[in-house]
Amino acid sequence: MMEHLAQILLLLAVAIGVVVLFQHLRIPTSLGYLLVGVILGPHTVGPTVSVPEFQAMSEFGVVFLLFTIGLSFSLPRLYALRHQVLGLGTGQVAVTTLLVGFVTWVAGLPAPAAFVFGAVFAQSSTTIIASLLNEQGEENSQHGRLGLAMSVFQDVTAVPFLVIIPVLGVSVVGSVLAASLGVALAKAVLAFGAVFFAGRWLLGPLFHLVSRRQSAEVFTLAVLLVSLLAAWTTNRLGLSLAFGGFLAGMMLGETEFRHQIESSIRPFRDVLLGLFFIGIGMRFEPAVLPAIWPLVILGALLALASKALIVAAMVRRTGIAPEVALRTGLMLGVGGEFGLALVAVALDAGVIDSRLGQLAINSVLLAMIAGAVLIRFNGAIAARLVDAPSGQNHAEAELPENPERVVVIGGYGRVGHAVAVLLHSKGVPFVSFDTDPKQVAKGRADGFQVFYGDITDPGLLSGIHVERAALVVLTVDKSATALKSVSSLKAMCPQVPVIARARDLATSSSLLAAGAIEAYPEAIEASLRLGATALRILQVSEEDIDAMLQDVRNWGYKPVLGENQDK
């Protein structure tokens, strides 16, 4: 690798510069990685990066992407979504694939290539949709939630394509193709069965054993081992690596470790997925574009129009208002990064040639850019095309003014359990995290949403969208952990209030300085409660007792500490 060190350094330098620029301009970083690939690819003027191990490493980006998608779509979750989103998501992908495939087949493409174009154009970019909705403040609107859910489910429906497309490159005769597809699907069922039983009987005990060590390093190694072992298993069966990653994620998504697993795998996923998109960008050939640009525009229009109309029609049939249905369709018209991944799979399998590959890649890229514009102005476009009374936004009017938000509890020990019981008694939704697997098991036995996870981990906090929480309650007994948690929370989501447990006055002061709105020192509070009980027995009024306690707290406990405040 030393002979390639200069190229690796060049790759990292260009990637950092482009991604930082794209983040500053609020452009999805996946497009930035594609641009890096174009700049450093063999088909453009300038330096070229050519590392033999590059392609192999980049494939694991898709493995980890499918792994994290699997974490979010465990079997119980898929069953729960079997009605609206599952039906809409499956129907949209199936109808778009068939429609685009038929149109391109009539236009002269071979049937396998037409199927690939249909599958590629059926995908939408979850990254672009999520980032633009969040920027526009529409993530909690009816069309925003529905569109985002459907786009995420598209990623799941892409899994069968990973099984089918490689077979199309080997078999083109009808009877042979049917037999090959049957064998591939049988292998997929076998792989699912193997990973399912492994997940039921091996993965749970493995992560319970690893989590007892309370070592982030060992936990991350276990996550890498499981995801790559599942990918290796499906690859040995003649299926894609990514399919194995998805199956492993599905099995682990049912466990209490899924949030921490997602946090542990995210850095590897993001970096390797970036390499994957750089590899896609390196396939881009500008010299071919002048000869195919009319077809590229037609392809992008086909992708945008087919998805927008199909989604709008399907959503409208469920009884949702026309404006919401159209806005959902406009969002899902955008091209998708996973479509580019399917193009790469098809090129490597020989299902499409280089020219068709260039046509597909450029069409998807143009659909991503044009689709982002449609998302940006989805409200204005829908208002012009749909008669909305008094200009009212149906999507926003149907949402409750104060949607219920969840309380996050950091730690499920003695104090965390008490807080959970109190919240549960009042019907307040909450989720709790602890790094002690015994406490996690106890919480789940209590029937509560308790997961394994480090509340100080920014990746975990980002993964659970802590910015949407109504409140964070820190009950961990380690002062350093509590202080680190408060600092991370205030940096990520200063609008979310944080209250914390403190062992003593010094810890309480540090937590308040870090951003907690309340931090009660346990020992002193216990003394106050004893004193209050004594006064109550002596028949002092409750109002006087409450006022006295509040005065003590307001004065930083100095009235009761006296000379012993530092002891």
Q: Given this model, what pLDDT does residue 174 score?
A: 54
Q: How much is the pLDDT for 389? A: 45
pLDDT of residue 566: 43
Kindly give, in sequence order, each residue whose CB lies less than 8 Å from that of residue 115, ignoring residues fewer than 6 positions away.
97, 101, 164, 165, 168
Q: Of all residues in the chain, what percent carry a pLDDT higher than 70?
A: 85
**pTM of this prediction exceeds 0.75:** no
pLDDT (0 to 100) of residue 563: 47
Q: Cβ contacts of residue 281 below 8 Å, gap of 6+?
A: 33, 34, 35, 36, 37, 38, 39, 41
pLDDT for the residue 105: 94
Cross-strand partners of 410: 433, 474
Q: How do residues 514-529 score in pLDDT, each as one tens digit?
A: 888 888 777 676 666 6
Domains and CATH numbers, the chain: 62-270+289-347+359-385 (no CATH), 407-564 (3.40.50.720)
Q: Model confidence over 476-523: pLDDT tens digits?
A: 988 888 899 999 898 888 899 999 988 777 888 888 888 888 887 776
pLDDT tens for 100-147 read 999 999 999 998 899 999 999 999 987 788 777 767 777 667 788 788
| Cβ neighbours, 10 Å, residue 5 | 10
- Name the percent of the chain in helix, strand, coil, to the closest 5: 75, 5, 25
What is residue 333's three-state secondary structure?
coil
Quick one: pLDDT at residue 80? 64
SS3 474: strand
> 398: which DSSP letter?
T
* Pair 281, 37: CB distance under 8 Å: yes
| Confidence (pLDDT) at 21 | 94
Return the closest-CA partner of residue 57 out of 14, 1, 119, 2: 1
Per the listing, tokens 């479509």 go with: 339
Coil, helix or strand at residue 502: strand
Residue segments in the chain with a per-residue pLDDT below the cut of 70: 1-3, 51-53, 55, 73-86, 134, 139-140, 169-178, 180, 387-404, 523, 525-529, 552-567
